[in-house]
Amino acid sequence: MSTVSGITPTTAKTASTTGSGTNISSDYQMFLKLLTTQMQNQDPTDPIDSSDYAVQLATFSGVEQQVKTNELLTSMTTQLGLLGVTQYAGWVGMEARVAAPAYFDGTTPLSIAPNPVTGADQAVLVVKDAAGTEVARRDVGTTAETIDWTGTDSSGNALPAGVYSFELESYNAGTLLSTDPAEVYSTIAEVQGTAGGSVLVLRGGAQVSPADVTGLRDPDQRI
């Protein structure tokens, strides 16, 4: 009499993880058919122990439930992401103060918020283009007040429109104390929901977390 090899837990797991939803149901039905065939064609002189059947059923059922749980968690994550998008939707069009590359349109000055370290007696704003090349350097004293960058290089020549990044070098008696990213006011163009939470897309393409924003203002109410 022919025999059918036992259905191992590995086989059951493979069947259940190859799909989801409708696939899980069809895989489970196939599993039961294979199990029934196995019982009908087993060697009567050496039948498979009933406990083996119980293990196989329990294993397949456990994998099935795990797949459904993963689907539920994915759905909940998506819904939470959408809630985050709704929460920050009102930020679109506002200017966020954040340490990230900013887009310069060629005419409108960018507002920079320098923050020299404690003990500095001099601070220098360093501007770099999208390629990371330094294009401008400007002494800004030790003020923490917002300053405007008009889009000129160190010689006063106009720079083209594009994405620029800003760093602040803090000095004391000519000794460099630290180099830190300078915060810039950038327009929020879009809010996206991701598996990791909401993401703000700035004009020019830079992406930042809402938690990185230290200030928010209406572009029509600049002071």
Mean pLDDT across the stretch 72-90?
63
Confidence band, pLDDT 50/70/90 cuts, at residue 72: low
Cα–Cα nearest to 149, from 170, 132, 128:
128
What pLDDT shows up at residue 7?
A: 44
Strands 197-202 and 183-194: antiparallel
pTM of the model: 0.61
Strands (E), the chain: 95-98, 102-104, 110-113, 122-128, 134-139, 147-149, 162-172, 175-181, 183-194, 197-202, 207-208, 215-217
pLDDT tens by residue, 38-68: 777 776 776 666 677 677 767 766 766 777 7
SS3 5: coil
* Dihedral angle computed from the Cα positions of residues 42, 43, 44 and 48, in that order, rounded to the nearest 10 degrees: -60
Confidence band, pLDDT 50/70/90 cuts, at residue 15: very low
pLDDT tens by residue, 102-136: 999 999 999 999 889 999 999 999 999 999 999 99
